[in-house]
């Protein structure tokens, strides 16, 4: 699979606070055992799902655990988030942790990953509370963007699903506009989290701060 970064690359791994020794160990020793695309799934997946920007990893971990026959690729660039998902899989108190057979981590920009995927490769795509890039001059960086929407439409199989959530009013308006101008997906929009969508940490913070999330479920036509 070709995952070379395009010229508009924004991210390598993004560092936060200095890591604790356990986090250093997770990145240096445990991550290479479940790093996509170097390590294939240890199952023959029924379908492949991709989550972009998994944050603390609660959504990815829950869906991958609940669906052991699905190959789940979880992408994140922020080191603290990557460590957070790794420590769900390898808790401190487990002496010989094992990767989940169906969960793999991609720790770089998810956009070139998506662009390198074959047509119809994915059955589901998750974009939960993407960075909003509220300034108009940064609109090109938004994951929901006509150009990337065409890529998502290419990579999702017919009947495949793309879930998007956002609490940011500018991003909500933008998403409604971009989705209103396309014909590749049937779209439903809700202000209550649909059944079966695991909650995320960012969502909890947004609701506690009084922001109203919007949830879009897109079906590839
Ligand atoms: C606002 S947070 C939301 C995290 C999580 N989905 C949640 O709901 O709690 C957005 C996350 O997307 C990640 N991200 C942004 N652009 C990305 C990209 N191109 N590829 C992979 N991850 C990305 C950021 O590092 C950040 O952790």
Is the C-beta atom of 79 inside 6 A of ligand 1? Answer: no
What is the CA(190)–ligand 1 centre distance, in A?
Answer: 21
pLDDT at 7: 42
Is the C-beta atom of 142 inside 6 A of ligand 1? Answer: no
E strand map for the chain = 47-52, 70-75, 103-106, 122-128, 156-166, 185-190, 214-220
pLDDT at 12: 59
Phi-psi region of 183 (alpha: psi -120 to 50; beta: other; left: phi over 0): alpha
pTM, rounded to two decimals: 0.94
pLDDT at 59: 98
Residue tagged 């604790």 (tokens): 20
Exposed (0-12), middle (13-18) or buried (19+): which is 108, by Cβ within 10 Å?
middle
Cβ-based neighbours of 215, under 8 Å, separated by 6 or more:
163, 164, 165, 189, 190, 191, 192, 193, 194, 197
pLDDT at 17: 85
Q: Report the Cα 52 to chain-centroid distance in Å.
A: 2
Residue 17: φ, ψ to 5°: -65, 160
What is the CA(54)–ligand 1 centre distance, in A?
Answer: 6
Residue tagged 């080191």 (tokens): 79
Name the helix (H) or strand (E) containing 207.
helix 201-208
Which stretches of the chain score pLDDT less than 70? Answer: 1-13
pLDDT at 8: 53
pLDDT at 10: 55
Nearest to 75 by CA among 34, 16, 33, 45: 34
pLDDT at 90: 98
**Ligand 1 atom nearest residue 106's Cα:** 21
């Amino acid at each position: 699979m070709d995952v070379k970064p395009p010229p508009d690359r924004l991210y390598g791994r993004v560092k936060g606070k200095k890591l604790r020794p356990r986090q250093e160990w997770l990145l240096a020793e445990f991550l290479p055992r479940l790093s996509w695309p170097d390590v294939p799934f240890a199952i023959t997946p029924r379908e492949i799902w991709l989550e972009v920007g998994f944050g603390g990893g609660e959504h990815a971990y829950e869906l991958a655990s609940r669906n052991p026959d699905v190959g789940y690729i979880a992408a994140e660039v922020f080191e603290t988030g990557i460590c957070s998902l790794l420590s769900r899989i390898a808790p401190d108190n487990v002496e010989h942790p094992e990767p989940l057979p169906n969960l793999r981590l991609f720790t770089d920009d998810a956009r070139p990953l998506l662009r390198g995927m074959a047509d119809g490769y994915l059955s589901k795509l998750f974009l939960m509370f993407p960075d909003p890039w509220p300034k108009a001059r940064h609109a090109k960086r938004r994951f929901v963007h006509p150009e990337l929407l065409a890529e998502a439409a290419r990579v999702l199989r017919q009947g495949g699903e793309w879930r998007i959530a956002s609490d940011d009013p500018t991003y909500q308006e933008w998403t409604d506009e971009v989705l209103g101008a396309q014909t590749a997906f049937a779209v439903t929009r809700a202000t209550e989290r649909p059944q079966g969508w695991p909650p995320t940490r960012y969502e909890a913070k947004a609701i506690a701060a009084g922001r109203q999330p919007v949830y879009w479920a897109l079906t590839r036509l």
